[in-house]
Amino acid sequence: MLDSHSACHGIWLPPDDQRQRTTRHVRIAMSSNANSQLQTKWSAPLLCFDGYATVARASVQSLVRSGVQVEVEPFNTDPNYMRLLDAQAAGDWAQILKQRAGPGVHVTYNLPVSPADLQNVYATQRLQHPGHLAYVGASMLETDRVPASWVRACQSMDEIWVPTQFNRETFAACGIEAHKLAVVPMGLDMLQYDPDKIEPLAIAGRKGFMFLAVFEWTLRKGWDVLLEGYVKAFSARDDVCLVIKAHGGRKQVSIRQQVDEYLRTLGRTPESAPAIIVISQKLSPVEMQRLYRAADAFVLPTRGEGWGLPYMESMALGVPAIATGWSGHTEFMTAENSYLLDYKLTTVSEAAWRDNRNSEIYKGHNWAEPNLDSLIATMRAVHANPTAAQARGKIARAHLLAHFNWDAPARAMLPRLHALTEQQPARQQAVRPQPMPGNATRPASKWAAPLFTYGDQGWLARSFVRSLDAAGNDVAVRTLGKDPEFIAKLSTPARLRWDVLQTAPNQQAVYVAHAQPTVGLSPQNVYAELRRNNPGHLAYAAVAYAETEQAPAHWAQYCKSMDEIWTPGEFSRNALIAAGVEPQHVHALQPGIDCRLYDPARSAPIQIAGQQGYTFLSVCEWSLRQGWDILLRAYVQAFDRSDNVCLLLRPPRGDTLGTAYIEEQLDAFLATLGCPRSQA
């Protein structure tokens, strides 16, 4: 998502005492101002080489400097990172790690879904940190969309913070509510990026003009385009070099080896190509600044970025940067302060999304394919006219000073923290159930429903609960019966979200029983029993439906056990009214479906043995109410054996009759039509 400054082996480093003399940290001050009333806790990969950690550190430090009470919960801490910190930086973080904050806004700065086990990170974090006023997820992605699992995970949070307008648009386009999205950019402490006070790093083998590229060795970063463009733009005779600071790639194979392998595919050898220097040693933050300072130009023809921290760091030191003109880094890179390459949007190749485990989320997405000729021409132009390039680098630094200094994250976060904190009393009042829903309030509700079962009732209950949950209402669920097979087939994110809803506090709310008034022919009043066994709620409602024009007469009496009756549509409402339920007592609701889950472009047809030609599909319970007899009679009269057509019957999962019984009934009915199945 962003680049980490990691890898291993090979250049000269200054001794420890010299490292400390080159450090220019600004002591973090705990100020007392209006922001000191704000409380926030951050769960994030703070103390490691990860790119997310770099952004999270900048955000936390920005808030601390602004006087906010910040508590941090680091994860993925890397001891190597801690050892590379100088005494000043280590002391600053030791101070931050000791801070404690009261209940406030909890921020999880991480991928919404874990690539390793597909865990819903946001829902899990919210469950593990109860009692906060609001919950925020902060993330980014480098393609033109986000996975469906991310959309579901983001629904676990009150707000989602992204670093760029690019991601605000890509997240919203995939169904994340626009009102929940806020842009919180990255910022740099520009005092630490003063080119006049940073000594360039000495690099063995360096030649005249130095291009620098800092990245993770993945196809997303465009290393293949970079190498091809560089060796076509220059020759071994040119006084130029490309310094690659990279990590990752294939295990047990060094970056140097991978560079040389790719050069051979281009018909070059390391000796015949213009000079390429590979740095794979881990560098401290100060050493990274010195590396950027040593460059004449930064270049990386990326296919997509969430933010693009290496571009920003090079620009902060006045180094002109060359980048593809698409995705997150265009938040701070423009045609005036940078060199933006031409590109075209293309589908992520299989080789790219199989690059590593973290890349698999890109399958089916689009990103930029940088134009090779544009890269070659730009590198040659920058090399040929270094004075003009330096002037553009100065413009870039001035732009960052004005708009992306260390306080940029705080300028964006403080209004959101104030809003989330100050709106909380009003929000608590809003979610406290009033007499019944239907007015301007958003009451909390507790649903007792057959959520984890196949069939109409289970689907309808899930539809209502998911809709309320996605809209930000407080929802708790208690399941009425469950099918182990159904639960086993739930995706990990879905299962985790339902777990969260099942463990929601048992607060006073509107109690909703998603059940019929009776079970079969039993005289038992289900509604009265549910109300009696669940006392103390502010109101009671039931979801009921009918398949005939009039519901059973005794339902009217049983429905009086509830304050309201809700039906899935007007037909069932009219049927209940016809049975004697008072019209003002029953309300028709509109079920909905998540169309993103039914995208024909993303769903491969299932292979069905015996399927031929034009296929009719009928999913129905094997009861005469569903009209299977009319369907079969019409089908055998409309077609014969010579037609290239078939009828696929699919009883709903959980049908208690069993496939063998249904096939027996099917054969018997076809025989009455004089059309055995073998002839149909």
Could you read off the pLDDT of 146-196 as tens digits, one per residue?
Answer: 998 899 899 889 999 999 999 999 999 998 999 999 999 999 989 999 999
**Model confidence at 502, in pLDDT bands (50, 70, 90)?**
confident
The position carrying tokens 């082996």 is 9
Instruction: Assign 662 to helix, strand or coil.
Output: helix
Quickly state the pLDDT bin for 587 (edges 50, 70, 90).
Answer: very high
* pLDDT, tens digit (0-9, with 9 covering 90-100), for 76-93: 888 888 788 888 888 888
Inter-residue contact 11 to 204 (CB < 8 Å): yes
How high is the pLDDT of residue 606? 83
Q: What's the CA gap between 260 and 236, in Å, rounded?
A: 15
The per-residue pLDDT for 234 is: 98
Average pLDDT over residues 109-129: 87
Indicate whether 427 pLDDT > 70.
no
- Which CATH number is 431-595's, of 1.10.8, 3.30.1490, 3.40.50, 1.10.1060? 3.40.50
Percent of all residues in the chain with a pLDDT value above 90, rounded to a whole number: 53
Q: What pLDDT does residue 6 have?
A: 33
Mean pLDDT of the chain: 85
Output the pLDDT for position 455. 79
Domains 191-403 and 431-595 share a fold: yes
What average pLDDT score do residues 505-520 get? Answer: 81
pLDDT at 76: 81
Q: What is the mean pLDDT of residues 319-326?
A: 98
Domain boundaries, the chain: 31-187+411-416, 191-403, 431-595, 614-672
User: What ranges in 4-147 are assigned the alpha helix state H?
Assistant: 16-21, 51-65, 79-84, 87-98, 121-128
Task: Tell me the average pLDDT across 124-128.
Answer: 89
Three-class SS string for 403-430? HCECCHHHHHHHHHHHHHHHCHHHHHHH
Mean pLDDT value of segment 339-348:
97
Predicted pLDDT of residue 3 = 42
Q: Looking at the domain covering 191-403, what would its CATH class be?
A: alpha beta
b vs e for 17-56, b when ≥16 Cβ sit within 10 Å of the residue's Cβ?
eebeebbebeebeeeeeebeebbbbbbbbbbbbbbbbbbb
pLDDT band at 426 (very low <50, low <70, confident <90, very high): very low
What's the token pair of residue 160? 């989602």
- Confidence label for 656 from pLDDT (cuts 50, 70 and 90): low
What is the fold, at CATH topology level, of the domain defined by 31-187+411-416? Rossmann fold (3.40.50)
Q: How far is CA 140 from CA 55, 118, 219, 305, in A?
A: 11, 17, 18, 9
